[in-house]
């Protein structure tokens, strides 16, 4: 909060508290990060601050949220990606899942939307594109049968 500092609170709604599956590659990266953090914890001993966070300062203390956002933004620019934010990844993930044919209820659950209609309203453009791809698939199947 401006002038006050970082505000920590629980999630907005009960449906915001959820478990989502992650790809094995992401799991491996997180396990490696955890191992490296454990090494730092041992090295620092009493100087380690146990913030119970996944991503921390080198001494284990909580990191300001803007640190992660800025680092991601700089990474994206250096890597030749457009000027995107972490929140953009949420939208990209949802759009890609819908475009790949994932059902809306599953996408809504991953996003923490209690109603599928919320997801359908926000991602209508992706649903339309997926529907157009479905129509093309039917066209291709019919041509093969003929």
Helix (H/G/I), strand (E/B), else coil: 111: helix
Q: For the chain, state the CA radius of gyration.
A: 21
144 and 101 belong to one structural domain:
yes
- Token output for 43: 């090295």
The partner residues of 62 in beta bridges, in order of sequence, read: 56
**Domain assignment present for 45:** yes
Q: What per-residue confidence (pLDDT) applies to 85?
A: 86
Q: What per-residue confidence (pLDDT) applies to 24?
A: 96
37 and 88 belong to one structural domain:
no
Below-50 pLDDT ranges, the chain:
none
Neighbours of 107 (CB within 10 A): 22
Dihedral angle over CA of 125, 126, 128, 133, nearest 10: 150
Q: What per-residue confidence (pLDDT) applies to 133?
A: 82
53 and 86 belong to one structural domain:
no
């Amino acid at each position: 909060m401006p002038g006050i500092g970082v505000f920590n609170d629980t999630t907005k709604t009960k449906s915001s508290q959820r478990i989502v599956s992650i790809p094995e590659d992401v799991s491996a990266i997180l396990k490696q990060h955890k191992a490296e953090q454990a090494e730092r914890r041992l090295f620092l001993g009493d100087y380690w601050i146990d913030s119970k966070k996944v991503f921390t300062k080198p001494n284990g203390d909580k990191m300001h949220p803007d640190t992660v956002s800025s680092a991601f933004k700089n990474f994206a620019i250096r890597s030749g990606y457009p000027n995107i934010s972490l929140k953009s990844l949420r939208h990209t993930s949802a759009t890609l899942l819908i475009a790949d044919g994932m059902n809306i209820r599953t996408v809504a659950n991953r996003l923490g939307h209690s109603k599928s209609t919320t997801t359908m309203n926000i991602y209508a453009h992706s649903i339309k594109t997926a529907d157009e791809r479905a129509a093309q698939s039917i066209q291709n199947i019919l041509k093969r049968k003929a």
